[in-house]
Amino acid sequence: MCGFVCLWNVGDEDLADRMIRRIAHRGPDAVAVATLPGAPVVMAHARLSIIGPEDGAQPIQVTDDLLVANGEIYNHQDLRAILGPSTFTTASDSEAILRLFRSGGSRWISRLDGMFAFVLATRERIVAARDPLGIKPLYTARIGDGMAFASELKAFDGLPVDSVEAIPPGSLYDTRDGLRRWYRTPQGAAEVEPGLDVEATVRELRLVLEEAVATWMVADVEVGSFLSGGLDSSIVAALAQRVRLGAGRSPLKTFAVGLEGSADLAAARAVAQHIGSEHHEGVFTAQDVARALPRVVYHLESADVDLVRSAIPTLFAARLAREHVKAVLTGEGADELFAGYAYHHDYVEDPRALADELTRSLGTMHHINLQRVDRITMAESLEARTPFLDRDLIDVAQSVPAALKLCRTDPDGAESTGETTEKWVLRKAVTDLLPPDLVWRKKAQFDEGSGTVDALSTALAEVLGVTGPVSRDQEAAVYERLLREQYADPDRVLAAAGTWAAQRVPV
């Protein structure tokens, strides 16, 4: 996990150094600037060493090619075996990107499995790309006749750049061939087809879940797990604990935060006890929230009310986790894959519309929840991993009929006229993994369960110097003011941010 900057046809090493220093929180282990002789390129990299910590420094140069990358390539060992181990000069997973490119395959990028953003340069061209759902960020801008790339918007702040925009998820930009989409989210299935073996579908989902968590734990450092006590993070933590214990390692480290006595702390404590993790708790107050707000807004690169609210507990959880590990697993993506949001209940009578909405919302995650997770954890120099967004798991989840994700059923699967159950098929897949009261409990938002909303009300009243409730408009105005105070070009940042529309529909 890292941050990087690349300048093409600009040729200013001092500028690259200034830009990378603005996002050095993404990689406190090493900062480096490099050029490629004979090519109009400057690259800078801030490293958080996770895989190949001894020799994985970047930028990576192989003869006439130079690379900077952010993220993790989880199948790098397989790629080494295919491409020939002797061709690799480091233990870094990122080197696999460069070696695949140099192999000359027409669809080489599709062989990368993981979360990543990168820019590589030859003497004649730049190639920049992003993982399927945009878990890792990548922005580009014009500087005169040249181009600049960076991991965060703040790298461009105050600079004479034009047309700052994100490279779309699942896309590759080539100065020779232009922009192309190399990955498209598979369309979700809708109705339960006649003859579908539901139990077999549930078993297959469980197997893919287990593989995804094991894959996303690959690292040369210890990987922990956020644990809010909700279904998604509890599934990830329970499976991760099995991976660690199965490999003869010490128990998984789990991390939960909230107000004293909050529902999340109690629920997470119960889950941790059930799975036997080494559990760590952090308690925050309304005063802590007030002090953290400027940092949250600055690093989030957004003033959206719902994003800021959910980013606050993420910040405290990241701070707690970073005291113990350099990487954590999270439950992001389960709601988009398995219909976990409250507004999804509006689609219960129309599985086709629900399947289409889930597919659409997966495509918006990069500038909503994934932006929050990336920016806030990286603000604390912590790598966050999202195993629910494993590519194989996405394929399987999208093949599961939406009618099995949101349906009116009892916990035992019998048809019922009772309440609608969201994420039904996911719950069925983990019935043996967690206590029944957790598996079938209704969802609560992270900011609600942790007590953030209550603490935030008090904090905002203090910031505004008022008594009584603070309206949503007043809250939004506070966040925008905090952002504007910290950026030279705040309109550029605000224009790039995603928002949650009515009923928390991501747009």
Q: How does pLDDT run along the chain (507 residues), one tens digit per residue?
A: 699 999 999 978 999 999 999 999 999 999 999 999 989 999 999 999 888 777 778 999 988 999 999 999 999 999 999 999 888 988 889 999 999 999 988 899 999 999 999 999 999 999 999 999 999 999 999 999 999 999 999 999 999 998 899 999 999 999 999 999 999 999 999 999 999 999 999 999 999 999 999 999 999 999 999 999 999 999 999 999 999 999 999 999 999 999 999 988 999 999 999 999 999 999 999 999 999 999 999 999 999 999 999 999 999 999 999 999 999 999 999 999 999 999 999 999 999 999 999 999 999 999 999 999 999 999 999 999 999 999 999 999 999 999 999 987 654 544 444 678 999 999 999 999 999 989 987 766 555 566 788 889 888 988 888 887 889 999 999 999 999 999 999 999 999 887 776 455 555
Tokens of 109: 């990028």
Phi, psi dihedral angles at 312 (to 5 degrees): -60, -55
Which helix H or strand E contains 283, and what residues bound it?
A: strand 278-283
Contact call for residues 312 and 452 (beta carbons, < 8 A): yes
Is pTM beyond 0.85? Reply is: yes
Beta strands 253-258; 223-226: pairing state: parallel
CA distance 12 to 455: 46
Query: In terms of DSSP bridges, do strands 421-422 and 162-166 run parallel, antiparallel, or are they unpaired?
Result: unpaired
Fold designation for 199-491: Rossmann fold (3.40.50)
CB 422 within 8 Å of CB 404: no
Query: Which amino acid is it at 161?
Result: V
Asked if 114 and 215 count as a contact pair (C-beta separation under 8 A), the reply is no
Match 């940092």 to its residue by tokens: 295
Q: Which of 360, 375, 314 is nearest to 152 (CA)?
A: 375
The angle at the Cα of 331, spanning 325 to 333, to the nearest 5 degrees, equals: 135
Beta-carbon contacts of residue 278 (< 8 Å; ≥ 6 apart): 250, 251, 252, 253, 254
- Determine the Cα–Cα distance for residues 392 and 16; give it in Å rounded to an integer: 37
Q: What is the three-state SS of 381-399?
A: CCEEECHHHCHHHHHHHHH
- The one catalytic residue among 1, 2, 235, 433: 2
- Alpha-carbon span 199 to 62, nearest angstrom: 50
On whether the 2-181 domain is CATH 3.30.43.10, my answer is no
Task: For the chain, give every domain's residue range.
Answer: 2-181, 199-491
Angle at 435 between CA 433 and CA 436, to 5 degrees: 105
Distance between first and last Cα of the chain: 27
Is 2 a residue of the active site?
yes
CA neighbor of 308 nearest in space, from 446, 129, 491: 446
Instruction: Count the neighbouring beta carbons within 10 Å of the beta carbon of residue 21.
Output: 14
- 1: its two tokens: 């996990």
Q: Are 427 and 441 in contact (CB under 8 A)?
A: no
The residue ranges of DSSP E strands in 9-113, in sequence order, are 30-35, 41-47, 60-62, 65-73
